[in-house]
Structure 1
Amino acid sequence: MRIVFMGTPDFAVPSLRALAAAHDVALVLTRPDAVRSRGKKLEPSPVKAAALELGLPVLEAKRMEPEVVDALRAARADVFCVAAYGCILPDEVLTMAPLGCVNVHASLLPRWRGAAPIQRAILAGDAEAGVSIMRIGHGVDTGAFCAQASCSVAGKSADELTSELAELGAGLLLEVLPELAAGTVSWTEQDEALVTHAAKIQKAELRLDPAVSAADNERRALASSDAAPARCMLAGKPVRVLAARVAPVSGAVLAAGELAIQGGRVLLGCGEGALEVLELKPDGKRAMDAAAWAAGQRGAAVTWEALS
């Protein structure tokens, strides 16, 4: 099958690799090079890097300009496959390929339509997350879906869950394409009564807070990223919490806002329960495990608080 692939972030890379191994990928469309790390240098998208490694033709575009539409038409693809490309596709593009345009979306639709479905699933405490193979329609993730796969959420970071769902999505996409070509795919319209929206994560949402439960703070740490890190004040100094978990119930109960160091363990009292910090990065310093940080806290204040 001849395919045009559209995608940009790491989530899309397994789908591209799977398609390239099984089909003829005529063109890869991705967002232009951008500053993606602290080095302040332009870097290719993960999809562009993978496409070049695979020897596939790449076109960079942040919108559907006439020359981009012409290139898509010239590719003469049977189907367009999309995974987190990051650009609205006009009707002309959606109907260009004979088999249409299918999208790998990182949620169990109709739950979590939108930009941040994986992080929203973590923050909401969902037991399961998943991927859907869907048609692209006029609204945001409103199209019918034809296949879904799921995995557990508990204890997984956003990066870990993204990697797992990306692989699930790639496998599901490969399963669907022969059925799409044969015309045997069964589409399910989304139940609008069950829709939830996955708005982009704001930095303030992931700040740790002694007023909320340890479980909520754990989920914020798991959902955090470089763009929206889990931050707080420990012993009067700002830090990023890289890994944390709800502490087992043992010993004295910590009051909300109390910080305890017990045998190298760093425990934070919350509105309900306690959070154990496993790894952190003080501002201006390297990342370190909790025991290393605790060793340098002699005489420090034994409180913690939310960043203002």
Structure 2
Amino acid sequence: MTRILFAGTPDVAVAPLRALVEAGGDIEVVAVLTRPDAPQGRGRRLMPSPVKEAAHELGLPVIEANPRTEEFFASLDEFKPEMAAVVAYGNLLRQEALDAIPGGWYNLHFSLLPQWRGAAPVQRAIWAGDDITGATVFRIGPGLDDGPIVAQSTTKIGTHETSGQLLDRLSLDGALLLRSALQGLIDGAIIPQPQTEGAFEHAAKIHPDDARLRLDVPAFALDRQIRACTPQPGAWTMLHNGDEEPLKLNILEAVIDETTDFGTDKPAPGQLKVTKKHVWLGTSTYPLEIKQVKAQGKKQMLAADWARGARLVEGAHCE
């Protein structure tokens, strides 16, 4: 039996944790490393991470100590893990921590490495217009996501898929990949292979300012940006409605409309065109039909319902 430390924090790491716990065979999860409770919601109450909640449900001990502290290394002495599995843990692992587990730390990364190393591989793949992505299990080393590869799986990116939807799929697929990869390492059936050398795109984190929509670009570019930034950090624009103060408008769902005949009334880039059942936003090519929005201070709703309540005037536009 190989003793495994699991390290993870958000929802996307829960399915892989459960898969390892249910694996049986030579895999035994002995403890879970996660980030400390964090303030959430309007009340900023301290809340446990999804992985911590899952660990408690599964009856597993939880380590919340920073991996650079004596408390963390004392926990390793207590639980004596032989290998570690990492999924979106969210904390830097220094060499001292990497060396403390003899069988190594193995990360489940949601891209086809060496493409999209970094913090936001799923979002960046969608934003770039990739057709295919996947998951990779690799051994963590001192570099950024550049350790030897243990296993990979591929999947197509759906035409209308958001980063949240794709990440949910990859979490489930990756859970099985991680389980089989660790078992293969334990059996000696898998020998990690170095990553391909070359220049590859880096998946930099997407900040809220990055998610502001540029409206002077083709519809396909806006569509990718919206899907990449949904649900986090949320694609947004500023709505200008007559003499009212501009307000922030999050666009949660939109589709490119290549079929409606607007004649000479096609909306210009940034211009809103509204009917009883439809809301369109002009781009430099085809309009986007807006399906779901969240206006500043309001809840998420259908765009047509929002537009009726917003009482948009002639000339209402986004920028």
So what's the TM-score if we normalise by structure 2?
0.90
8 A contact 1:257–1:303 mirrored in 2: no
Output the aligned Cα RMSD.
1.8
Matches within 5 A, 1:91-102: 91-102=95-106
**Per the alignment, in what secondary structure is the counterpart of residue 77 of structure 1?**
coil
Asked if structure 2 preserves the Cα contact closer than 8 Å seen for 1:243 and 1:277, the reply is: yes
Please name the residue that 1:127 is paired with.
131
Q: Distance in 1 between matches of 2:14 and 2:108?
A: 11
- Inter-partner Cα distance in structure 2 for 1:37 and 1:150: 35
How many Å separate the matches in 2 of 1:173 and 1:11? 13
Which residue in the other structure is 2:253 paired with? 243
User: Which residue, 276, 280, 287 being the options, matches 1:274?
Assistant: 287
How far off its partner does 1:227 sit? 5.2
Q: Which moved more, 1:57-66 or 1:297-306?
A: 297-306
Within 5 Å, give how 1:61-100 maps onto structure 2. Answer: 61-100=65-104
CA deviations 1:198-252 (Å, max 9, x no partner) are 1111222211222112111112221225652211134524311111121233212
Query: What CA distance in whole angstroms lies between the structure 2 residues aligned with 1:183 and 1:149?
Result: 20
Instruction: Give the count of matched residue pairs.
Output: 306
Cα shift at 1:160: 0.7
Contact 1:222 1:243 in 2 (8 A): yes
1:204 equivalenced with 2:205 (yes/no): no
Q: What residue ranges of structure 2 are gaps of 5+ in the alignment?
A: 242-246
Write out per-residue CA displacement over residues 244-281 of structure 1, whole angstroms, 9 at most, x where no aligned residue: 12123321233212211134110111012111110111
Using the TM superposition, give the Cα deviation of residue 298 of structure 1 relative to its aligned residue in structure 2, in angstroms. 4.7
Amino acid at match of 1:293: W
- 1:73 shift after superposition: 3.1
| Residue 121 of structure 2 corresponds to residue 117 of structure 1 | yes
User: Does 1:17 pair with 2:18?
Assistant: yes
In 2, the alpha carbon distance for the partners of 1:190 and 1:156 equals: 28
Contact 1:73/1:96 (<8 A) preserved: no
2:198 aligns to what SS in structure 1? helix
Which residue is equivalent to 2:39?
35
Residue identity opposite 1:169 in structure 2 = G
In 1, distance between residues paired with 2:68 and 2:128? 34
Give the AA of the match of 2:110: A
When structure 1 is superposed on structure 2, of 259-268 and 7-16 the one drifting more is 259-268
Percent identical across equivalent pairs? Answer: 41
Instruction: Output the TM-score relative to the length of structure 1.
Output: 0.93
Matching residue's letter, 1:239: L
Given residue 211 of structure 2, which amino acid in structure 1 is its aligned partner? Answer: L
Q: Secondary structure at the match of 1:192?
A: coil
- Paired amino acid for 2:317: W
